[in-house]
Amino acid sequence: MEFVERKIILFNAFQKKTQKTPQKEIDKALKLKREYFELKKTQGNEKRSNKKR
């Protein structure tokens, strides 16, 4: 989870069957998090460039 602008964003969910979180699930969640923030960054840049017009 990541706290963004007072929002909680759940990037990945799975059912744990052991104490240890599988590395595959950690990698998947980190990838989704990176993609989300890249998309937000891109959208933010588009909004700023549209305001200048």
- Per residue in 1-53, pLDDT tens? 666 567 777 877 888 889 999 999 999 999 998 999 899 888 877 766 666 65
pLDDT at residue 42, rounded to an integer:
87
pLDDT at residue 48, rounded to an integer:
66
pLDDT at residue 3, rounded to an integer:
61
Q: How many CB atoms lie within 10 A of CB 12?
A: 14
pLDDT at residue 38, rounded to an integer:
92
CB 11 within 8 A of CB 1: yes
pLDDT at residue 31, rounded to an integer:
93
Reported pTM: 0.61
Token output for 51 = 């305001």
Q: How many CB atoms lie within 10 A of CB 6?
A: 5
Q: Which residue has the tokens 């890249």?
A: 38
